[in-house]
Amino acid sequence: MGANLVSTNTDFSGPHRAASESPAALGAFGRYELTKLLAVGGMAEVYLAKSRAGGIERACVIKRILPRFSTNREFVSMFIDEARITIGLDHECIVRLFDFGQVDGAYYMALEYVDGVDLVDVLRAQKARGLAVPPAPAAFIAREVLRGLEHAHTLRDHRGRPMGIVHRDVSPQNVLLGFSGAVKVSDFGIADARNRLTSTMHGQVKGKFSYMSPEQASAKPLDGRSDVWAAGVVLWEMLVGGRLFAAEGPVETLSRVLEAPIVAPSERRAGLPAELDRITLKALARPVRERWANAQAMATALDHYLSDQRFGRTELADFLASVDLDKVVTETRQRGGGQQGDDIATVALPTDLELRRLAQELKKERNLWTLVDIGRRHGALGDLGAARVHIRAAAAVLAHRGALVPAICALHTLRELDPSAPLEQDLRELAAVREHDRSALLALVERWQVRSAFEQVRDLEPQGLGADVTAEGTAIAHPAPLFGRVTTADFVRLGLLAVVERHAEGEVLVAEGDEGSSLYAIGHGRALVSARPTDDGTGAARTDRVYVAALAEGDFFGEFSLLTKRPRSATVEAQTDVVLLRLDRDGLDGLLLGDASFREPLVEFYKERVCELLLAKNPMMAALAPDARRRLLDAAQVHRYRDAEPIVREGDAAGDVFFIMSGEVEVFRNVDGFPVFLDKLRDGQFFGEMAALQGGVRTASVRAIGDVELLGISGEVMARVLHDAPEVRALFVHAMSERASETIRLLEETARIFTGV
C-alpha cells in the first residue's frame, strides 16, 4: 500500500493503558499540583491535578511529555500542534484545553477533567457480559461525538478563515463519557489543520488503523468526512459489541478497511432498528461522495431517531451507572472525582440579559475575571456601588491566591469606571493578603464590604474558600514574579506605575525585531509567542513562523528586551481578547534610583526571567538539568561594568566564573608590557572558568567594551554542580582545552609578528 505505518490497534478485551516509564513525583508542577497518576502511555503521562487558574480552584488533567521525549524536536512540535489546535476548540462535546507550556523542560497541557470513563471501558465491560451498547445510548453517544466534530470541522480563526481541522483519530479511546451524562471528544494530537506546524510526510499514515477512513489509510487528502467514517465505525462497534475491521496485524487491518464487505449492524446483532442500520452504513460508504456530507448531517439523522426515544444526558448517566464497570472505575464514580457538577449553589439571576449571561458563565467557567466583567456591566448600567463590590471581591481573592497581576488589573478596571476609587489605598490593602492568610482575606472582605460577591465565590469552591479556615492550605511556596517579592510600598508604587491595556483577539502585542522598552504581563486572556527560525536543520532560509510558547494570566513577557536593551526576539499575538499590564523602563529605572529596596526583587526577577533563558541557550549549560541551572542562579550575582572598566586582571586569584548577559568584553594578555588581544566575547558566553575550576590565578585580563552586564557564579558552586554532572564537566574541559590551544596559537602568531621569527 506504500504507507509508512505509525500506529497500533487496541482490542476491547484487553487493558488499554500500560506503564512504560517511572512517573514524575506528585506535588507542585508549575502553577499546578499533581495529585494522582492516571495513566502512563508510550510518550506521555497523565495526572489528575489542581489548578487555581482564574483564581478559583478546579480539578484538571495534566498531560505531560515523558522526559526522554522532551528533547525530541519532532515529537515536541507535534505535541505543541495538538495544543495550538485544541485551545481554539470551545464546545461542550470537546475536552477543553485550559493551558499549555513548559515546566523545567517538560512540556504539558492542562485539560478539562471529565469525571467518568472512556468508551473503551464501557465496551469492555459490556463485552464481558456478552452485551453491546443498547441502541439509544449508542445513538446518543455518536450524536454528541458528531456535534463536537462539526464544531472542529467548521472552526474559523479570528480573521474568519476556515481552520480546516480533521481529527484523524476518532476512536473509542478518545470518546470520554462523564458520569453526569456528558460526552466529549478528546486528543487532537494528530489532527490535521491548515495552521499546523508539523505535517505528515507523503505516504505516511497516522491514526489507529481500524478506525481510519479508506482515504486516510491510503494517505490521501482528508476533509471532515474522514472523521464521519470513523464515527460510523465507532457507532457500528457500539451497536454490535465487537470490532469491525480489527485483525491480527496492521497490514491485514488496513486491507479490511479498504476491501472487506461491510454488513449492517442488525446482521450481527438481531433486533437493531433499521434506521440505525441506514445511518451507520451511509457513514461507512467507501466513496467519500456517498457518505454523509458532514458531521452535522449525520448528527441530524441521529436526532430524528432519538426524538422518539426521549434519551438525553440523564438517561446516559443512568445507563453508565448500570454498566458493570471494573472496581477502579466504580470507586472513581463513587468518589465523584472531586469535580463540581450542576449541584453548585445558584445565585438569583438578574434581569439584565448580559448580567444573566455573565452569572451563568461564572458558574460554568469558575474564573474570577468574570466577576470583574459583572462589575464592569454594573458600571455600564450606572450602578457603581455594585461595580465596586464585584470588582474588589475578585481582586481580593485573586491577590490572596497569588494572582497579583490580574488583581492589579482588576483594580485599574474599577478606576476606569470610577475615577474617585482610592487606587493607592486599595493596592496597599491587596499587598496585605498576598501571603495566603485566610484571616487577612476575610478581614479585607469586611472592610471593603464585598461579602455578597465573596459568597458567590465561596459557593463555587466549597472545598476551598467555602471550607473551614484550616482547610485551604499553607502559604504560597513560590511567590508571584516581581509583585510577590517586593515590599508593600514598592508593590503600591509598581501598581500605580502600571498601565492597563485592552487588546482584541489577533492583535500583535509586540513584534519580533522591534525595540522594546516595556515589560508586560497578562492580566486576563491568552497570547501566543512565535518566532522566525533561521533554518530548518538543512541550512535553508525560512520565512514562516514557529510557535514558541503560550502565555496565560500572570505570565510576563518582554523582559528580555527591557533588561538587555536588545530588539524583541519573538512576536506575541493575542489569541483571545487580552487585558495587559504594562510597565515602562523609565518608571522602573525611577524606582531603582529612588529606593534601593527595590533592587533585590528586580535582580531576582532578572535572574529568573532572563538569566535562565540565556543559560538554557548556551550549548554547555543547556546540557545541565533545569534544577542544576537553578542552583547556579540561586548562588549568582549580577555585576555591571562601564566601557573599558577592568573585570578581571591577569595574575589575580581565581574567583567567579562569569557569564555575559548583555554587551561584549575583550580578553587580552600582557606580553613584555604590551597587551595582546586574545578574544572578544558577547552575551551567552563564559569566561574565567579555567582559573575558577582548575584553581590558581587568572591567566588573562578582561575588560568591558561598552556597558556590560555579567552573571558572576562562584567557582566553588560551579565545581560542585559539574561534579554531579560529569558529562557536562567533560564539555567544559573540552572547551577549556580548545581555548588554551587557541591562546597559544595567538601568542605564537604575535611573537612572529614582533620578532619576525
Tell me the CATH number at 542: 2.60.120.10
For 538-573, the pLDDT digits (tens) are 444 444 566 667 788 888 888 777 766 778 888 899
What pLDDT is attached to residue 348?
44
C-alpha cell at 47: 495526572
460's CB contacts (< 8 A; 6+ apart) are: 56, 340, 344, 362, 363, 366
Whether residue 152 sits in one domain with residue 209: yes
With respect to residue 336, please indicate whether it lies within any of the assigned structural domains: no
Using the predicted structure, report yes or no on whether residue 16 has a pLDDT greater than 50.
no
Instruction: Identify whether the C-beta of residue 137 lies closer than 8 Å to the C-beta of residue 335.
Output: no
- Count CB neighbours of 354 within 10 A: 14
Rounded Cα–Cα distance for residues 54 and 493 (Å) = 25
Out of 578, 608, 638, pick the residue that ends a domain. Answer: 608
Whether residue 587 sits in one domain with residue 623: no
Chain position carrying cell 567533560: 730
What pLDDT is attached to residue 622?
66
Q: How confident is the model at residue 200 (pLDDT cuts 50, 70, 90)?
A: very low
Out of 576, 608, 640, pick the residue that ends a domain. Answer: 608
Instruction: Identify whether the C-beta of residue 484 lies closer than 8 Å to the C-beta of residue 461.
Output: no
Give burial (CB, 10 Å; 0-12/13-18/19+) of 595: middle
With respect to residue 550, please indicate whether it lies within any of the assigned structural domains: yes
Element holding 578 (H helix, E strand): strand 578-584
What pLDDT is attached to residue 728?
75
Helix (H, G, I), strand (E, B) or coil at 659: strand
Give the CATH number for residue 206.
Answer: 1.10.510.10
Give burial (CB, 10 Å; 0-12/13-18/19+) of 382: exposed
Residue with the bigger pLDDT between 87 and 128: it is: 128
Q: Of 18-27, 140-149, 171-180, 541-550, where does the model show the most confidence?
A: 140-149
Helix (H, G, I), strand (E, B) or coil at 338: helix
What pLDDT is attached to residue 81?
66
Residue 176 DSSP symbol: E
With respect to residue 748, please indicate whether it lies within any of the assigned structural domains: yes
With respect to residue 368, please indicate whether it lies within any of the assigned structural domains: yes
Instruction: Identify whether the C-beta of residue 364 lies closer than 8 Å to the C-beta of residue 438.
Output: no
What pLDDT is attached to residue 721?
84
Whether residue 579 sits in one domain with residue 637: no
C-alpha cell at 459: 459557593
For 331-348, the pLDDT digits (tens) are 444 433 433 333 333 334
Whether residue 151 sits in one domain with residue 246: yes
Q: What are phi and psi of 440, to 5 degrees?
A: -65, -40
748's CB contacts (< 8 A; 6+ apart) are: none
Instruction: Identify whether the C-beta of residue 675 lies closer than 8 Å to the C-beta of residue 667.
Output: no
With respect to residue 362, please indicate whether it lies within any of the assigned structural domains: yes
Element holding 528 (H helix, E strand): strand 527-531
For 276-293, the pLDDT digits (tens) are 999 999 999 999 999 999
Q: How confident is the model at residue 228 (pLDDT cuts 50, 70, 90)?
A: very high
Residue 447 to residues 369, 381, 391, 565, 711, Cα–Cα distance (Å): 21, 25, 14, 43, 45
Chain position carrying cell 484487553: 14
Whether residue 240 sits in one domain with residue 112: yes
What pLDDT is attached to residue 310?
87
Using the predicted structure, report yes or no on whether residue 366 has a pLDDT greater than 80.
yes
With respect to residue 50, please indicate whether it lies within any of the assigned structural domains: yes
Whether residue 127 sits in one domain with residue 10: yes
Q: How confident is the model at residue 294 (pLDDT cuts 50, 70, 90)?
A: very high
Instruction: Identify whether the C-beta of residue 23 lies closer than 8 Å to the C-beta of residue 37.
Output: yes
Nearest 5°: the CA angle 110, 116, 120 is 100
Q: How confident is the model at residue 449 (pLDDT cuts 50, 70, 90)?
A: very high
Instruction: Identify whether the C-beta of residue 692 lies closer than 8 Å to the C-beta of residue 729.
Output: no
Instruction: Identify whether the C-beta of residue 286 lies closer than 8 Å to the C-beta of residue 280.
Output: no
| Residue (of 145, 144, 165, 146) closest to 154 by Cα position | 165
Q: Cite the active site residues.
A: 169
Query: Which structural domain range is residue 436 located in?
Result: 353-480
Min mean pLDDT across 325-329, 410-414, 518-522 is at 325-329
Sign, CA dihedral 109-111-115-118, equals negative
Start-to-end CA span in the chain (Å): 71
Mean pLDDT estimate for the chain: 80
Whether residue 240 sits in one domain with residue 183: yes
Whether residue 127 sits in one domain with residue 43: yes
Whether residue 176 sits in one domain with residue 52: yes
Residue with the bigger pLDDT between 467 and 19: it is: 467
Using the predicted structure, report yes or no on whether residue 172 has a pLDDT greater than 50.
yes
pLDDT over 90 percentage in the chain: 34
What pLDDT is attached to residue 615?
65
Using the predicted structure, report yes or no on whether residue 319 has a pLDDT greater than 90.
yes
Whether residue 358 sits in one domain with residue 506: no
Rounded Cα–Cα distance for residues 141 and 724 (Å) = 54
Chain-centroid distance of CA 358 in Å reads 26
Chain position carrying cell 527560525: 533
Whether residue 291 sits in one domain with residue 255: yes
Using the predicted structure, report yes or no on whether residue 534 has a pLDDT greater than 60.
no
Q: How confident is the model at residue 596 (pLDDT cuts 50, 70, 90)?
A: low
Min mean pLDDT across 324-328, 370-374, 606-610, 732-736 is at 324-328
| Residue (of 215, 204, 94) closest to 144 by Cα position | 94
With respect to residue 345, please indicate whether it lies within any of the assigned structural domains: no
For 404-418, the pLDDT digits (tens) are 999 999 999 999 999
pLDDT (average), residues 62-87: 73
pLDDT (average), residues 458-469: 73
What pLDDT is attached to residue 481?
80
| Residue (of 492, 311, 470, 308) closest to 399 by Cα position | 492
pLDDT (average), residues 282-311: 95
Whether residue 142 sits in one domain with residue 48: yes
Out of 566, 582, 608, pick the residue that ends a domain. Answer: 608
With respect to residue 390, please indicate whether it lies within any of the assigned structural domains: yes
Tally of domains in the chain: 4
